[in-house]
Amino acid sequence: MAGTSRTRLVNPRLGTYFGIFAAALAALVIMALMFEQLGASDSAIRFLMLAGPIALYGAIGLLSPARETNDYFACGRRVPAFFNGLVLAVSALGGAGFLGLTGVFFAVGFDALCLSLGICAGLVFMGVLLAPFLRKFGAYTVPSYLSRRFESPALRVVAAATLAVPLLLLLAAEARFAAYAAAWLTAQSERLMAVAVVVCVTVMVLAGGMRSHTWSGSAKAIAALVALAVPATIVAIMMSNLPLPQITHGNTLRVLTRVESARGLPLVAAPLLAFDFPGEGLEPLAKRFIQAFGSVGSLAFALMSLVAAAGIAGSPSLLSRPGSSPGVHESRKSFGWAVLIAGVVLLTLPAVAIFLRLMLLDQVIGQPVDRLPAWFQALQKAGIARVDATTPAVGFGNVSFDRDAVLFSLSFAAGFPQALVYLALAGALAAALLALAGALVGSAVLLSEDIVHGLQTEGAPDSSRVGAARVALVGVAFLTGWLAVAAPADPFKLFLWSLTFSASAAFPVLVLSVWWKRINSWGAMVGMLTGLGVAAFVILLAEAGALTMPSVLAGAIGLPAGFAATVVASMLTPLPSRNVVNILQEIRVPGGETLYDRELRLQRLRGRSPA
């Protein structure tokens, strides 16, 4: 788009539009609160808090259709840095971050930091190492970038097949988390809700692809942040008189530490490579909150933060995001926003966990089994908490708590009106829907552009490329629905596996493709396949018990293996051609026309003039 100014591309009224959305959301919540006080039925309030926000996201998605490829696959390259950062941060966390990570903080305290730090560091790595260069290239998918960068059509299919693995795992994980939140919100079965959320997300993004996903995603991200902030802030005021849960939980933490030692919570030391995160469902409190390396060994802690960082940085569903910013500088800025927003969320989640943990320790542990507080009895009845009554007083070993329910149980334990509990659930649902939509669009575009159309995509007219992407979207949606119903594993583990696969298969090759001149197409192909193979092999061995390391750390072996294989294979095969090196030199400089757009423009010019 040479000659078009950045200011002309970006819609100046975006802030107004999303301000209206935030106001509508606030009005909805206040309305639900009033209805509840007026005695409306519980199911009506549930319906309002589920259908209201989803109708808003759906309306935004359906009202931003796209007919041109640039709109459908890259949102017209007109998303300003803040909105890109917002969507990036919340979809990097997703349902796994909001629901799962809070529960992990609740159960293992300090040791959960390895994941939160990893996710934040991943955004930094991606912003510094990859995003600006991928934006300069401007391809719609990672395989399309790699195949052009190395002038190797075969690499496109290999890369697409490789990247499908982390994408499918992410799809299954996020669909499960979304279904979990929706099931609590509607009191329906999780399987039914899995199908319902996949249908909802498909409808939201079908009309406009990346364009629908970006704008409805910004709305979802705002809803997720609001829904996280409101209960946490109110509880923070109740507990510390200050409305900043992120930094004022110090006093709460001191009380918590004292209560923990008074109640005799054990100090445990984990072996170096131990990685004992709570699984799905009801889990006991493992250790004292503040103690380091009680569930996760110190080596595993460092490895997990690096694997998570590389996994987020190489995640194919996030890597399509920089392509939608108006320029290279703007795409760098979007990562600044993303790190800021993700950082604030990642400071709020442990605060939520600390508040709930103190309530549990203070009011439940040590009490007689038959005289527990009302909120805890209600949680027990709902199946979120359980006490195995063997002793007259409740001890640590007897209490277990549903990992994914921690986020919304806080509102419940603090005695808030039901509408606020449903708000917390709707926020977690929004985060999961956002990550699900991102993965769904990412895999559909991968399928239609890189596999179905394969080698001659760019010659095809816009209508057929967009049409193929829509068909692929419906196909992937069916697959996701089936995966969400059929996948038996813990969704949080699926999320970690997805990070491990993208860390070992995608990250090494992508980094070297920008920062190392000697890499050639053989190196890229061998590197991706080796990373994928090694990670899969280690996961299989670890799950079978043949290897004394946790399977989610497979990336710690797969990542170096991927790097080594890329380097060795490149050195053993001929130098990259002059043309390939020229492309690399173009990518490294921010100025000048986006490479992919120039290719399309030249193709159109050739098509118009009779040869």
Partner 1 sequence: MIEWSERKAYWRHTKVQMLTSLLPFLLALIVLPFYAEVLNDARVLGIPLGYFLACHGLLVIAFVTMAVFVNRQDAIDHWHGAHEDI
Between 13 and 258, name the residue whose CB sits nearer to partner 1: 258
- DSSP at 457: G
Report, in Å, the least distance between residue 251 CB and partner 1: 5
By CB under 8 A, residue 6 contacts partner 1: yes
d(CA 263, CA 247): 26
Q: Does 250 sit near partner 1 (CB under 8 A)?
A: yes
Closest CB to partner 1 among residues 331, 520: 331
Q: Could you say whether residue 273 binds partner 1 (CB under 8 A)?
A: no
Token duo for residue 417: 């009106």
Q: Give helix then strand counts, H and E, for the chain.
A: 26, 3
Q: Which is nearer to partner 1, 347 or 485 (CB)?
A: 347
| CA distances from residue 476 to 169, 435, 480, 481, 483 in whole angstroms, order as listed | 13, 15, 6, 9, 10
Contact flag: residue 243 with partner 1 (CB under 8 A): no
Q: Which is nearer to partner 1, 182 or 304 (CB)?
A: 304
Binders of partner 1 in range 307-326 (CB under 8 A) = 309, 326
Residue 588 is a binding residue for partner 1 (CB under 8 A): yes
Nearer CB in complex with partner 1: 153/592: 592
Is 206 a binder of partner 1 (CB under 8 A)? no
Q: What tokens were used for 478?
A: 């069916």
Instruction: For residue 574, count CB atoms less than 10 angstroms from its CB and return exposed for 0-12, middle for 13-18, buried for 19 or more.
Output: exposed
Of the candidates 63, 315, 327, the one whose C-alpha atom is nearest the C-alpha of residue 214 is: 63
Smallest separation, CB 332 to partner 1 (Å): 5
| Interface segment toward partner 1; rule CB under 8 A; list 61-69, 328-336, 441-449, 520-528 | 328-336
Q: In the set 37, 43, 189, 251, which binds partner 1 (CB under 8 A)?
A: 251
Single out the residue of 91, 102, 116, 348 in contact with partner 1 (rule: CB under 8 A): 116
Among the listed ranges 28-36, 43-51, 338-346, 536-544, the one in contact with partner 1 (CB under 8 A) is 338-346
Give me the torsion for CA of 414, 415, 417, 422, rounded to 10°: 50
CB of 92 to partner 1, least distance (A): 13
Long-range Cβ contacts of 358-361 (<8 Å, 24+ apart): 358/239, 358/252, 358/255, 358/256, 358/259, 359/410, 359/413, 359/414, 360/285, 360/399, 360/401, 360/413, 361/256, 361/259, 361/260, 361/263
**Burial bucket for residue 479 (CB in 10 Å: 0-12, 13-18, 19+):** middle
Neighbours of 243 (CB within 10 A): 12
d(CA 58, CA 40): 26
Closest to partner 1 by CB, 94 or 327: 327
471 binds partner 1 (CB under 8 A): no
CA distances in angstroms from 35 to 23, 49, 186, 528, 545, listed in the order given: 18, 12, 17, 55, 54
- Our CB check for partner 1 shows the closer of 119 and 509 to be 119
Q: Tell me: does residue 237 bind partner 1 (CB under 8 A).
A: no
Q: Which of 45, 50, 115, 121 binds partner 1 (CB under 8 A)?
A: 121
Check residue 257 for interaction with partner 1 (CB under 8 A): yes
Nearer to partner 1, 313 or 469 (CB): 313
For the segment 506-535, give every residue that binds partner 1 (CB under 8 A): 515
Q: Of 38, 591, 605, 609, which lies in the binding site for partner 1, with binding defined by CB under 8 A?
A: 591
Q: Is residue 275 a contact residue for partner 1 (CB under 8 A)?
A: no
Q: Does the protein bind partner 1 through residue 336 (CB under 8 A)? A: yes
Rounded to a whole number of angstroms, the CA Rg of the chain reads 24
Q: In the complex, what is the shortest distance from the CB of residue 288 to partner 1, in angstroms, rounded to a whole number? A: 11
Select the residue interacting with partner 1 from 191, 590, 597, 600 (CB under 8 A).
Answer: 590
For partner 1, the binding residue among 332, 453, 470, 493 (CB under 8 A) is 332
Q: Which of 396, 313, 311 is nearest to 361 (CA)?
A: 396
Given the complex with partner 1, which of 347 and 451 has the nearer CB atom?
347
Q: Which of 21, 83, 275, 335 binds partner 1 (CB under 8 A)?
A: 335
Piece of 198-206, 301-309, 465-473, 482-490 that binds partner 1 (CB under 8 A): 301-309
579 forms part of the interface with partner 1 (CB under 8 A): no
Residues between 443 and 462 that touch partner 1 (CB under 8 A): none
CB contact at 8 A, 423 and 227: yes
Between 136 and 220, CB nearer to partner 1: 136
291 lines the binding site for partner 1 (CB under 8 A):
yes
Q: How many residues does the chain have?
A: 611
Residue 258 contacts partner 1 per CB under 8 A: no
Shortest distance (Å) from residue 468 CB to partner 1:
32
- Taking the alpha carbons at both ends of the chain, their separation in whole angstroms is 25
197 and 433 Cβ atoms separated by less than 8 Å: yes
Nearer to partner 1, 24 or 255 (CB): 255
Query: With binding defined as CB under 8 A, does residue 329 bind partner 1?
Result: yes
Q: Which helix (H) or strand (E) holds 282?
A: strand 282-284
Name the residue with tokens 């197409």. Answer: 521
Binding residues for partner 1, how many (CB under 8 A)? 56
Give the Å distances, CA to CA, from 75 to 65, 448, 572: 10, 17, 40
Contact 209/76 with Cβ under 8 angstroms? no
- 263 is an interface residue for partner 1 by CB under 8 A: no
Cα 321 to chain center, whole Å? Answer: 13
**Alpha-helical segments (H) within 38-141:** 42-62, 69-74, 81-95, 102-108, 113-125, 131-137
Contact between 149 and partner 1 by CB under 8 A: the answer reads no
30 vs 450: CA distance, rounded Å: 47
Do the Cβ atoms of 300 and 120 come closer than 8 Å? no
Interacting residues with partner 1 (CB under 8 A): 5-6, 110, 113-114, 116-117, 120-121, 123-125, 127-129, 132, 246-251, 253-254, 257, 290-293, 298, 301-302, 305-306, 309, 326-329, 332-333, 335-336, 339-340, 343, 346-347, 350, 515, 585, 588-592
